[in-house]
A and B are shown apart, each in its own frame.
Chain A
Amino acid sequence: DTAVSQTPKYLVTQMGNDKSIKCEQNLGHDTMYWYKQDSKKFLKIMFSYNNKELIINETVPNRFSPKSPDKAHLNLHINSLELGDSAVYFCASSPGTAGEQFFGPGTRLTVL
């Protein structure tokens, strides 16, 4: 059973398009995250939800909008995609503070 899953694994799209990435965790965790990893492997937190409520919202363009329909799911919608959005996006979950994070396999987004 996959603990944290993301779909799709690869996403290739044109500039200006809108796309979504989905994340699901079956660990019963209360907290979920989105991270962006750039080509130099730098990992930056974007958003975090705890029990469906937004608790972390880093400096991210408002073209990015997270949505948590329930505490097992955290989706990321991106409007008007730009070349600089090309990266690997990781979803993660944790049981709360002081817990380790469990990462999904990543979604490699390529904007042409």
Chain B
Amino acid sequence: AQSVTQLDSQVPVFEEAPVELRCNYSSSVSVYLFWYVQYPNQGLQLLLKYLSGSTLVKGINGFEAEFNKSQTSFHLRKPSVHISDTAEYFCAVSPSGTYKYIFGTGTRLKVLA
């Protein structure tokens, strides 16, 4: 079975500061990895994904994530956040070759002025 852990339920950060949202996963098979963002009262949209290849993945809105197989982590980073980045962020894994997705419990990023 697979599981996803997002240890931080809330992350407050000041505008223009860097941020890292942590994601660790557990799986006995290879997985694909995703980060989604959910703005208030909206559905989720994809920020970035890792399927294979380079372990550093760049996404939309200046976000990037690094896949670390030995630490089974896929942390999300942004060097300088904006007020508009305030949202809920979800890490997800999908076992390779399956249709199943397992989401983490989400991290609420609150950007302060």
Interface residues of A, Cβ cutoff 8 Å to B = 4, 31, 33, 40-45, 48, 50, 55-56, 90, 92, 94, 96-98, 100-101, 103-106
Contact = CB atoms under 8 A, between A and B. Distances in A.
Contacts of A45: 100-103
Interface residues of B, number: 26
Given A45-B101, A101-B34, 4 more contacts: A43-B103, A45-B102, A56-B99, A98-B96
A82 B103 CA distance: 25
A90 B41 CA distance: 11
Nearest to A30: B99
B61 to A, nearest CB: 15
Contacts of B98: 97
Nearest to A48: B99
Contact of A100 (B49, B100, B106): B49
Nearest to B108: A41
Contacts of A97: 94, 96-99
Nearest to B97: A97
A56 to B, nearest CB: 6
